[in-house]
Amino acid sequence: MEEKQFAGILNGAVPGEPVKKDENSRRGNWGNQIEFVLTSVGYAVGLGNVWRFPYLCYRNGGGAFMLPYFIMLVFCGIPLFFLELSFGQFASLGCLGVWKISPMFKGVGYGMMVVSTYIGIYYNVVICIAFYYFFLSMTNLLPWTYCNNPWNTPDCSGVVSSYQLNASLANATSSLVAGVSEVVNRTKRTSPSEEYWKHYVLNISDDIGNFGEVRLPILGCLAVSWTVVFLCLIRGVKSSGKVVYFTATFPYVVLTILFIRGITLDGAINGIKYYLTPQWQKVLDAKVWGDAASQIFYSLGCAWGGLITMASYNKFHNNCFRDSIIISITNCATSVYAGFVIFSILGFMAHHLNVPVSEVADHGPGLAFVAYPEALTLLPISPLWSLLFFFMLILLGLGTQFCLLETLVTAIVDEIGTDWIIKNKTVVTLSVAIAGFLLGVPLTTQAGIYWLLLMDNYAASFSLVIISCIMCICIMYIYGHRNYFKDVEMMLGFPPPLFFKVCWRFISPVIISFILIFTVIQYKPITYNDYVYPGWSLAIGFAMALSSVVCIPIYALYKISKSPGATFRERLKAACRAHPKWGPALQEHRTGRYAPMASEDTVEARPLKEKDELKEEQKEKEKEKEEGKEKERKDEISLTIQGSNGSTNTHNNPNPSA
């Protein structure tokens, strides 16, 4: 018994309360806590950890960048992560339903849905391109190894000796091979992997408005990608919770294999030194701190709605404080580890070409689909390493995509809330997946890469920062920090640590505001290599960014106009006040100030209890009342008979004298 109580306290249960399964039969829960942690790790650890962080690190002072990075993790990343997890877990609702805490701010939830929609559309296109490269790696010779293909130009210059292609051509091409290094040092070469990416995979057009044709191989891979995501989410968290045992853990196996292979190569140490050598003077540069804060914020997935959604399937007394620390640190450690994997290979490539590491370093799609694949061609059994690398990218992307789709589906199901929609959640998942596939089709055209980068740069940029800032203000200052601290204590069995209280109220909002100011000051119009985006496309980009933020004031005005009150002030107060249904989902957890005040309010105080149970209770009460009335009626008849005859039920007795 003592062991059970001790286990309950470790898991965040209230001391003294019996440990029991509090399965929410209406919405469902994670099968166990490992599923939630792995899903959240898969959500937070994405493509950005591999293709963005290492580049930011070497650009911003190498090892010196780690200092502001981990400071921002402690003061902004972990507190915001804990805030969102506790928010969703307490109410057991998605990113729309949780705003019963202050109905006027429900527009923040709609903003999160819009952001998740944009990210979900283009993120799966990146995954489908990784699928495409994965399938193309199933060969004896990687197709981007040499410059003798129909799509190559005269400017192409490979890094692999030509004799590996065909021994009979060795003598004819030896002079060309000998001159490669010299050409590379004198001019900016065009690599076969870059030409393969531009001219074969994308067949890129000359302008964002020139869509050209749909690239059918990529469209087919997009269909495969959405099918995989749908099948993994066909039963919601019950099915995705099982899939993440593989998708969230296997990327670490691949990273370790690539790391061991990378550090054994010539020049790998130079690449790692370039990655980690501290340039302490850069710590005084505001841009470095801005990049650190932005990377922490975007990498953890704050304000996307995914953290709230995943936590809403936790059991009420789960220790989400512990989970938030584990997941946040795992995410950042993965970023640092991925940097070793990337720069060990890039260092080897720079050594082979006899050029500085900075000339081969890249980020984003350029790293994933050009620089790293080219470096892999230098390795023996290169198709094997290519298969592993792109399989890792696929799994990293799918982990995030699962949560993006589940965020949208959960928000829709919670908002409608009917028995039919809950029973047929799979239909909603399928509908959202089909819509996502159709909206992603334009990104598979010849101009698709322009639109993908436009969405990546604008759809989830400063809008996320604004959404997160307003969420902090709403919870801490509109709902009230004391109320929220009591809610967390009721849920976990202990109040939030003082450090987190201070961060939630003061430090994190200030850092978020700093990120917003930094983003505005550092803004530069987007470009892709030498292509400059036209003004009309930038206007579309800003429209996408504002479309999520504008939900907040529009819904606030709508809610105020519908709220009761004679004056604007009264309506504003009513719109900000927590909804009567705000609180724990299950009746057994609605204690203290959430307990029902009176018998007639019992139904109102249990907003999310099973409707069938409530109906049964109502019927039983009505039956009891009817039975009571019937009994009273019989008693009255009995008294009447007794009063008129002077005896009780003598007419039923065959022998009155007896």
Integer Cα distance of 410 and 425 in angstroms: 9
What are the chain's domains? 45-148+192-562 (1.20.1740)
pTM of the model: 0.84
pLDDT at 258: 94
The residue ranking higher by pLDDT, 228 or 646, is 228
Task: Note whether 292 and 72 are within 8 A (CB).
Answer: yes
pLDDT on residue 466: 94
The burial class, CB within 10 Å (0-12 / 13-18 / 19+), for 223 is middle
Q: Which residues pair with 190 in a beta bridge?
A: 156
SS3 label, residue 212? coil
| 419, 423, 426, 428 alpha-carbon torsion, rounded to 10° | -10
**Among 238-247, 476-485, 517-526, 549-558, which is the least confidently predicted range?**
517-526
Q: Could you tell me if 526 and 95 are in contact, meaning their C-beta atoms sit under 8 angstroms apart? A: no
Of all residues in the chain, the percent with pLDDT exceeding 70 is 83
Q: Which residues belong to the annotated binding site?
A: 42, 44-45, 49, 299, 331, 396
pLDDT of 248 over the 90 cut:
yes
As annotated, the binding site for Na(+) includes 42, 44-45, 49, 299, 331, 396
Q: Give the dihedral of Cα atoms 169, 138, 160, 58; nearest 10 deg.
A: 170
Q: Which of 133, 208, 93 is nearest to 457 (CA)?
A: 208
Residue 179: what pLDDT?
36
Evaluated on CA atoms 19, 21, 22, 28, the torsion sign reads positive
The stretches of 587-610 forming alpha helices (DSSP H) are: 602-605
CA 144/CA 194 separation, integer angstroms: 8
For residues 307-335, average pLDDT: 96
Non-local CB neighbours of 112 within 8 Å, separated by 6+ positions:
95, 303, 304, 305, 308, 407, 467, 548
pLDDT for the residue numbered 357 = 87
**Residue 137 near residue 372 (C-beta atoms within 8 A):** no
The C-alpha angle with vertex 141 and arms to 159 and 50, in degrees rounded to 5, equals 65
Separation CA 397–CA 247 (nearest Å): 9
Q: Which pLDDT value is given to residue 161?
A: 52
Unique residue bearing structure tokens 């990378």:
262
Q: Which amino acid is at 27?
A: R
pLDDT of residue 178: 35
Identify the band that residue 125 occupies on the pLDDT scale cut at 50, 70 and 90: very high
pLDDT of residue 625: 61
- What is the pLDDT, as a whole number, of residue 603? 40
Confidence bin at 324 (pLDDT 50/70/90): very high
Whole-angstrom Cα distance, residue 582 to residue 99? Answer: 8
Whether residue 515 has pLDDT greater than 50: yes
Rounded to whole angstroms, how far apart are CA atoms 95 and 394? 26
Summarised one tens digit per residue, pLDDT across range 31-75 is 899 999 999 999 999 999 998 999 899 888 888 999 999 999 999
| Residue 297 amino acid letter | F
Q: What is the average pLDDT across 349-361?
A: 87
Give the residue among 160, 223, 574 at the shortest CA–CA distance from 376: 160
CA 221 to chain centre: 22
Question: Angle CA(271)–CA(275)–CA(277) in degrees, nearest 5?
Answer: 105
528 forms bridges with which residues in the sheet?
531
pLDDT tens readout for residues 385-426: 999 999 999 999 999 999 999 999 999 999 998 989 999 999
| β 527-528/531-532 pair status | antiparallel
- Amino acid 596: pLDDT: 81
Answer whether 159's CB lies under 8 Å from 191's CB: yes
Residue corresponding to tokens 């799509």: 151
**DSSP secondary structure string, 120-140?**
HHHHHHHHHHHHHHHHHTSSS
Which of 438, 450, 529, 389 has its CA nearest to residue 47? 389
- Position 434 pLDDT exceeds 70: yes
Band (pLDDT 50/70/90 cuts) for residue 24 is confident
State the chain's mean pLDDT as an integer: 85
Q: How confident is the model at residue 158 (pLDDT cuts 50, 70, 90)?
A: confident
Q: Is 605 exposed, middle or buried (0-12, 13-18, 19+ CB in 10 A)?
A: middle
Q: Which residue has the higher pLDDT, 405 or 157?
A: 405
Gyration radius (Cα) of the chain, Å: 31
Which tens digits make up the pLDDT trace of 585-636? 999 999 988 988 644 344 433 444 444 444 555 666 566 666 665 655 555 4
Contacts of 332 (CB under 8 A, 6+ apart): 69, 70, 73, 77, 296, 299
Q: Which amino acid is at 346?
A: L
